[in-house]
């Protein structure tokens, strides 16, 4: 558990009512969510940096990625799988007395001090919020530009080499997990993968850094359309990558 807050505030926290504890845990977003009179809640739509515990609205329609990711897969993925991670994250936050205002990133960076439930669901929530916001409707000849493209070319030789290496990470992740482009502590671009809902932010992982781009290679992300053909899904997904969002994370 993180060493934030005094023992006094910890006791006060525990003494709160269930609803009060929930409100404290969720911060203003949670309070707004629970207040039916509040119709003007400002939703974060820019992705998971500073992310709260609630799902943000999907930044496009369920069918906006059709031909690559079908609408049924998107709807089930967002409203069931990802919603489940958010819900269980909020439960874990209450059970583990997470202090007011704690961001998901802070939890992930200190994940060794939390439960397996927190690890699975804080990771799941963060990873999916990032995933939705680093996709957009299909773009022909989709590739990054500017500083990010230069950095990828410098690091991997060419954009094509980068894609080949990333594809290999996605292909060889055994079972459920994610493949990542991330920057390490020195700011060096790296490619890797993680199991389950782990990600590079976690202080328990084999890879550590800040995730710029990730692909969900759990079967629930592609099985309806692609069945066992994971790499057909990955090949199509490249045309959906929102390189502007990735550039923003890189900057
Ligand atoms: Mn998923």
Q: What is the pLDDT of residues 148-170, one digit of tens each?
A: 999 999 999 999 999 999 999 99
Mean pLDDT value of segment 93-108: 93
CATH 3.55.40.20 is right for the domain spanning 70-250: yes
- β pairing state of 210-216 and 189-195: unpaired
Average pLDDT on 51-66 reads 94
C-alpha 92 – ligand 1 centre gap (Å): 19
Helix (H) or strand (E) holding 210: strand 210-216
Q: Flag whether pLDDT at 7 surpasses 50.
A: no
226-232: which pairs have CB atoms within 8 A and are 24 or more residues apart? 230/170, 230/171, 231/167, 231/170, 231/171
- CA of 143 from ligand 1 middle (Å) equals 24
12: CA distance to ligand 1 center in Å?
36
């Amino acid at each position: 558990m993180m060493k934030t807050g005094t023992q006094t505030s910890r006791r006060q926290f525990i003494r709160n009512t269930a609803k009060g504890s929930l409100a404290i845990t969720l911060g203003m977003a949670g309070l707004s969510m629970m207040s039916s009179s509040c119709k003007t809640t400002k939703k974060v739509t820019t992705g998971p940096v500073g992310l709260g515990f609630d799902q943000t609205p999907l930044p496009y329609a369920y069918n906006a990625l059709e031909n690559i990711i079908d609408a049924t897969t998107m709807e089930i993925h967002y409203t069931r799988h990802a919603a489940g991670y958010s819900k269980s994250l909020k439960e874990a936050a209450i059970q583990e007395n997470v202090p007011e205002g704690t961001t998901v990133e802070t939890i992930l960076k200190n994940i060794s001090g939390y439960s397996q439930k927190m690890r699975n669901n804080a990771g799941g929530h963060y990873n999916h919020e990032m995933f939705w916001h680093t996709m957009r409707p299909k773009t022909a000849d989709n590739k990054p530009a500017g500083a990010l493209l230069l950095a990828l070319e410098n690091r991997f030789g060419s954009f094509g080499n980068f894609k080949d290496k990333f594809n290999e990470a996605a292909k060889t992740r055994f079972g459920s997990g994610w493949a990542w482009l991330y920057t390490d502590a020195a700011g060096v671009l790296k490619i890797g993968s993680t199991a389950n809902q782990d990600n590079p932010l976690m202080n328990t992982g084999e890879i550590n850094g800040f995730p710029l781009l990730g692909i969900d290679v759990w079967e629930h992300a592609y099985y309806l359309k692609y069945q066992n053909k994971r790499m057909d899904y990955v090949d199509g997904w490249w045309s959906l990558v929102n390189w502007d969002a990735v550039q923003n994370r890189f900057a």
